[in-house]
Structure 1
Amino acid sequence: MLRVFLILLLFILPLSACAVQPQGQSEPPSAALASYYPELKYQEMSPTPVSGIYEVVIESGDVLYFVPASGHMFLGDLWTADGQNLTQENKSRRMSSKVNLFPLEKAIKIGDGPHQVIEVTDPDCPFCRHGSDYFAGRDDVTRYVFLFPLEELHPHAAAKARFILAADDPEQAYEDVFSGKYDSQPVPDAPDDGRLQLFREIAHKAGVTGTPHFWIDGQHVTGYNPQQFDALLNQ
């Protein structure tokens, strides 16, 4: 959320001096957006169920809402009266479409069950570890793990990721790290085979900025959400 506000401050607020469109003037929503906010870079723009309001996906993957008639821009989630979060559903749809960006042959493979689970995870993220425990308790999944250490938050996570990737038995090294074995002792030095950088590049291309992220049989789930895991795996 803080990142979105910084984007607003950098790219939107300085443009408040732009000329206001005359009332009643009709032009395509994309042209109105370019007119009001010429420096704003975005991926896509689409109408919402609310008349006159458009969803704008900016370069970071975050969502803003734009009113072409007045030039107003606002941030937040769009809900229906029955509690349906349309913003989150659309984010999930877009993220689900990115599942093919992940080269499974490069991942750490765990299990051989019928359900495919792709994990983007940080060795020192507590919610990632909860997710790991959840999937370790199931024998119906094949897991493809892509390590994405958030070094700003977890300064030892990158060393742990390199250790896992360089291990003779990466699955066992993964289990050791995620179980906390190396939380109170340093991991052994490990060579860097380039995969960690590859994983970072893939994650960024997929729009991942935090952890964990999961794709369960192609359906995206953000964060540790066992109820949603259950719903997808038990269909």
Structure 2
Amino acid sequence: MKKPMIPLLILLLTLITLQSPAFAAKQDESGVSGATATLKMTFPRLEFDSVHATPVEGVYEVVSGDRIIYFVPRSQHLIYGEIWDAQGQSLTRTRQAQMMADRIKDLPLEKALKIGDGKNVVIEITDPDCPFCRKASEFLSERDDVTRYIYFYPLTRIHPEAEAKVRYILSAKNPAEAYEDVMRGRYDGRALPQFEDNRQLEIHQEIVTNLGVRGTPKFWVNGTYLSGADLQAMEKLMNGSGQGR
């Protein structure tokens, strides 16, 4: 007597379902949901924006501001580092660049301090007392092919004079000139000229916070994100080559 074919058909249908993209997507969603719940329970003080699957099984991407870290739910470990593929490409940097590029799509550039009118568009997050910000500003000021959109984010805990300097810049009759004076150190350890605060700093701080940025300097060079004053990478991007990080 022949055995019924129904169990075999059920097995085949099950295998097809397991291999289907729709099922894989549901599995990813389930994994992300579970990883998120475990992350919150394991690290309740960790502030993060979202959790995503990665190409590495069991390892999940955790987006926290402009940073990407990794979480392994099974062992309940956080990993601070980068994932590289066999071709020597940092998947972490690529993902971060895509993520940060998406965030500036609706950026209100009219609220920024604009300097220059060149073909290369550079968006800056800066603190006037940050030495690395000043280094990058000097580099950009020497070029005549750049349009700069500058947002201020003074780190008052480490630069107590920075906030007053930013308020002076944004309230000045000629903000671009005031910016150059401040960035060149003209008012370091000296009193600022009298000014009436126009409260533009609060607008800048809100914009920067919404971008998920927590430090300076940060740049988007022709749409590509750069963290830190990497002048060599910046120059390559303005010359039409290179990748941000």
> TM-score by structure 1 length?
0.80
Aligned to 1:48: 54
Give matches, 1:199-218, under 5 Å: 199-218=204-223
Larger radius of gyration: 2
* Residue 102 (structure 1) shift: 2.8
Partner secondary structure for residue 207 of structure 2: helix
SS in 2 for 1:177: helix
Query: Quick one: which of 77, 83, 87 aligns to 1:73?
Result: 77
SS of match in other structure, 1:28: helix
The structural deviation recorded for 1:144 is: 1.0
- Write the deviation string for residues 180-205 of structure 1: whole angstroms up to 9, x where unpaired: 10113121232221210000000000
User: Given that residues 135 and 229 in structure 2 are in contact (C-alpha distance below 8 angstroms), is that contact kept between their aligned partners in structure 1?
Assistant: yes
Counterpart residue number, 2:89: 84
The within-5 A match list for 1:30-49 is 30-39=32-41, 42-49=48-55
In structure 1, runs of 5+ residues without a counterpart are 1-25
Q: Which residue of 1 aligns with 2:22?
A: none
In structure 1, the partner of 2:189 is: 184
Contact 1:101 1:206 in 2 (8 A): no
Structure 1 counterpart of 2:83, one-letter code: W
Write the deviation string for residues 101-129 of structure 1: whole angstroms up to 9, x where unpaired: 43111211111111111111001000000
Q: Distance in 2 between matches of 1:203 and 1:27?
A: 30
1:232 aligned partner: 237
Secondary structure of the residue aligned to 1:66 is: strand
Cα distance in 2 for residues equivalent to 1:155 and 1:210 = 15
Count of matched residue pairs: 208
Contact 2:167 2:199 in 1 (8 A): no
> Structure 1 136/88 Cα, relative in aligned 2: closer, same or farther at 3 Å?
same
Answering whether residue 147 of structure 2 is matched by residue 142 of structure 1, we say: yes
CA-to-partner distance for each residue in 1:31-75, whole Å, 9 max, x for gaps? 3224424455743332223222221224x444332334x252322
SS in 1 for 2:133: helix
Residue 99 (structure 1) shift: 1.3
Gaps of 5+ in 2: 1-27, 241-245
| Aligned pairs for 1:97-108 within 5 A | 97-108=102-113
Task: State the 1:89 CA deviation.
Answer: 2.8
Cα distance between partner residues in 2 of 1:121 and 1:96: 18
The answer as to whether partners of 1:36 and 1:71 remain within 8 angstroms in 2 is: no
Q: Distance in 2 between matches of 1:77 and 1:100?
A: 27
What is the CA distance between 1:78 and its match in structure 2?
A: 2.3
Secondary structure at the counterpart of residue 74 of structure 1? strand
- Contact kept, 8 Å, 2:128 with 2:165, in 1: the verdict is yes
- Following superposition, the deviation at residue 174 of structure 1 comes to 0.4
**Which range moved further: 45-54 or 105-114?**
45-54
Q: Residue in 2 aligned with 1:15? A: none
| SS of match in other structure, 1:143 | strand
For the aligned residue pairs, the C-alpha RMSD in angstroms reads: 2.2
**C-alpha separation in 2, matches of 1:108 and 1:37:** 39
Code of the aligned partner of 1:126: P
In the TM superposition, residue 232 of structure 1 has moved relative to its aligned partner by 0.9
Q: Structure 1 residues 109, 34: CA separation in 2 closer, same or farther (over 3 Å shift)? A: closer
